[in-house]
């Protein structure tokens, strides 16, 4: 059994997050959803991003505080902006984190917190990206993320899903959702947390 912290996107705890939690729990893992929005959900990005901009660095502090519901080793899994929170928590809890999985949103450590904390030593990471992701930061940002993980002595894995949009496991976003890509993501996620 693995302890897993799930970090939702700016849209909050929607079906894609609850489905992920259910699949992980069904595989025998303990899952805690780190909801910095306290139950608020959004149906579109514009108001969600406005709320996130207003919160600023408060979301990082809240995510770190709430991550302590798991006191020992954990794997962090984040979706979009939640991927950044998962990565931030990983850098702040290097002795506890065992792996990070990001659906979109993987970024170099220079964009996390005050930008001075390196990737935790030996901690593997995955990024899962839809080919039609409107929030893709591009190959330069991805290359920096890869370099940070490799510099820490770990191997990053990058997966691209040809049919998927940004949150391709979210059935409530029909322009982004791709059921086949979501199933492939879940299979890879379950294999990663089982190691």
Q: What is the pLDDT of residue 55?
A: 85
pLDDT at 56: 76
Beta strands in 22-116 (DSSP E): 30-33, 74-79, 97-103
Query: How far is 8 from 63, CA to CA, in rounded Å?
Result: 11
Structure tokens at 128: 């899962």
User: What is the mean pLDDT, run by run of 10 residues, along the chain of 195 residues?
Assistant: 97 98 98 96 93 86 97 98 97 98 94 96 98 92 97 97 95 96 98 92
Structure confidence at residue 173 (pLDDT): 96
Please report, for the chain, the start and end positions of each structural domain, with discontinuous segments joined by +: 3-194
Query: For residue 167, what pLDDT is reported?
Result: 97
Contacts of 49 (CB under 8 A, 6+ apart): 10
Superfamily of domain 3-194, CATH level 4: Alpha/Beta hydrolase fold, catalytic domain (3.40.50.1820)
E strands, the chain, in order = 3-7, 30-33, 74-79, 97-103, 125-130, 156-161
Handedness of CA 78, 81, 85, 90 (dihedral sign): positive
Q: pLDDT at position 105, please?
A: 85
Q: Give the pLDDT confidence score for residue 53 in this predicted structure.
A: 86
DSSP-assigned beta bridge partners for residue 74? 97
Cα torsion through 184, 189, 194, 195, rounded to 10: 100
Residues in Cβ contact with 132 at an 8 Å cutoff, skipping those fewer than 6 apart: 163, 164, 165, 176
The pLDDT value recorded for residue 126 is: 98
Q: What is the DSSP letter of 171?
A: T
């Amino acid at each position: 059994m693995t302890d897993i912290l799930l970090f939702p996107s700016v849209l909050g705890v929607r079906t894609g997050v609850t489905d992920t939690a259910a699949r992980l729990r069904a595989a025998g893992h303990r899952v805690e959803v780190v909801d910095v929005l306290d139950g608020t959900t959004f149906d579109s990005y514009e108001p969600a991003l406005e709320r996130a901009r207003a919160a600023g660095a408060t979301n990082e502090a809240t995510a770190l505080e709430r991550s302590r519901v798991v006191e020992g080793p954990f794997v962090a899994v984040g979706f979009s902006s939640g991927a950044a929170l998962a990565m931030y928590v990983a850098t702040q809890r290097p002795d506890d984190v065992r792996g990070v999985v990001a659906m979109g949103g993987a970024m170099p450590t220079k964009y996390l917190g005050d930008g001075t904390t390196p990737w935790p030593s030996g901690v593997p990471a995955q990024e899962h990206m839809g080919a039609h992701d409107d929030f893709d930061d591009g190959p330069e940002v991805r290359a920096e993320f890869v370099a940070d993980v490799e510099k820490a002595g770990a191997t990053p894995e990058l997966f691209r899903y040809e049919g998927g949009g940004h949150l391709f496991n979210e059935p409530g976003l029909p322009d982004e959702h791709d059921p086949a890509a979501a199933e492939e993501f879940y299979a890879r996620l379950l294999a990663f947390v089982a190691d």
